[in-house]
Amino acid sequence: MSVFPKDFLWGAATASYQVEGAHDADGKGLSNWDVYSHLPGTTYMGTNGDVAADHYHRFKEDVALMAELGMKSYRFSVSWPRLFPKGRGEVNEAGVKFYSDLIDELLKYGIEPMLTMYHWDLPQALQDEIGGWESREIIDAFEGYARLLYERYGDRVKLWATFNETIVFTGLGYLTGMHPPGVKDPKRAIQACHHVFIAHARAVETFRKMGVQGQIGFVNVLQPNDPITNSAEDVKACELAEACFTHWFYDPVLKGEYPAELLAMAQTALGVPVFAPGDAELMKNNICDFIGVNYYKREMIAANYDVDGFEMNTSGQKGSGKELGWKGLFKLVRNPNGRYTDWDWEIYPEGLTDAIMRINKRYGNVPIYITENGLGAKDPIVNGEVLDQPRIDYLREHIQATGEAIKLGADVRGYYPWSFIDLLSWLNGYQKQYGFVYIDQENNLARKKKLSFGWYQKVISSNGEE
Ligand code: BGP
């Protein structure tokens, strides 16, 4: 008997900027990524999402492949500037129609759409005109965007996520400067992040006021942290890392407040986040229906007296990753006994069981969807076949780890590998592949099923027993 419930949602995920292409088609406005990826030195070898997998023009072919795979659900994101070219104001009906057609096509095959409202592609106009996430004005703009989504798709979409991985777009966008808008300032990062939580709470409030029939949640990355040694200083550094990486991002949406100790630390040291009247109540009153967890790796933590900076391996040259961290607080270090990908991400399936159970313990038995999990690799092609056996091994172990958490009592309702199809990796280009479907860049972006496609088909048809 399978440990997975019989209505378990076996899915796969993508995101608009990474898969759609058609960056200026049919009235779409430019996003922050359309602009940023064209600036020198921002992405791996200058790659961008102008064309990507051209899913915008080929979604019917792609959805047919999803149906062939047996997918029960598809997690995708909407490009805000495709709907509102300027972020607010005039609606681009051609953009609205694209997602409406996509949703209809999914439902035709009985595939449940899971819609993410914001997977990092901000209308550039909002960056230019108001300063993006640093401005409180963005909260109204986001609410207007959410309202349009509910009005147009609320009759058909039942699973909604407001934001994807706030830690990444605010952390890399405002703290390490590796994502747009390329700022390096902890104070600005924390305040931008606060506006995201408030925008989320407002979108949840509006969802409920409008009576949309469905569930609304938030998607976070979860990298469980473990101390590299049992020394008191490493353990302490690890606790701080977990509070910063996990509790700061989960507590506001599952408890409706920031972790008190860390909030006091940030406000004392930096004077942020600044609350406007009503913010605290809004957070408190708009807890999520579910949480989406993106899991790829664990991070080992050590006390930090030397490293100050963030330089990631974006080339796929194994071992080229450096230690990352904030001096005086903590650093992320390599596990000498760990298995690693070519991008120096630790492969640690037990961490997924652990991550789920940490959520269960802190927030109660909240419904959980594993909204991303996957292996980024340069897949080998042998006699024209894409033999991605390492991906199969990775996913198999992580599916088992998900099953373990279900056995322990967690309410896990779905599993969405990243990614359905090969697509753009933000900083690592097209060479870092995750998909069940390969895109032939030399042959008009023709789709080709990888070895993992047939394997995942069996996982789904056997409800995880493969
Ligand atoms: C997550 C993002 C995805 C995706 C994935 C893989 O953080 O939500 O959009 O990109 O990570 O990351 P990468 O492409 O950097 O390997």
Task: Please state the domain count of the chain.
Answer: 1
Query: Residue 163: what pLDDT?
Result: 98
Confidence of residue 323 (pLDDT cuts 50, 70, 90): confident
Query: Residue 309: what pLDDT?
Result: 81
Over 90: is that where the pLDDT of 320 sits?
no
Q: Which of 406, 396, 391, 387 is nearest to 465 (CA)?
A: 396
Low-confidence winner among 33-42, 283-292, 302-311 (lowest mean pLDDT): 302-311
Q: Domain containing 409: what range?
A: 9-297+350-461
Determine whether the shortest distance from the Cβ of 294 to ligand 1 is under 6 A: yes
Query: Residue 192: what pLDDT?
Result: 98
Determine whether the shortest distance from the Cβ of 344 to ligand 1 is under 6 A: no
Q: Is residue 95 situated within a structural domain?
A: yes
| Distance in Å, CA 419 to ligand 1 centroid | 9
* E strand map for 232-348: 290-294, 299-302, 324-326, 330-333, 339-340, 346-347
* Alpha carbon distance 18, 33 (integer Å): 10
Q: Mean per-residue pLDDT for 206-221?
A: 98
Q: Is residue 109 situated within a structural domain?
A: yes
Query: Residue 321: what pLDDT?
Result: 77
Q: Is residue 214 situated within a structural domain?
A: yes
Query: Residue 466: what pLDDT?
Result: 76
Q: Is residue 323 situated within a structural domain?
A: no
Q: Is residue 325 situated within a structural domain?
A: no
Query: Residue 310: what pLDDT?
Result: 78
Q: Is residue 362 situated within a structural domain?
A: yes
With residue 115 as reference, give the H or E element that holds it.
strand 112-118
* Alpha carbon distance 391, 298 (integer Å): 17
Q: Is residue 331 situated within a structural domain?
A: no
Low-confidence winner among 165-169, 318-322, 337-341, 347-351 (lowest mean pLDDT): 318-322
Determine whether the shortest distance from the Cβ of 3 to ligand 1 is under 6 A: no
| Cβ contacts of 38-42, under 8 Å, gap ≥ 24 | 42/182
Q: Whose CA is nearest to atom 6 of ligand 1?
A: 425
The pTM (predicted TM-score) of the whole model is 0.98
pLDDT in tens, 14-60: 999 999 999 999 999 999 999 999 999 999 999 999 999 999 999 99
- Looking up residue 145, the CATH number of its domain turns out to be 3.20.20.80
* Beta carbons of 295 and 355 less than 8 angstroms apart: yes
Q: Is residue 322 situated within a structural domain?
A: no
pLDDT in tens, 99-116: 999 999 999 999 999 999
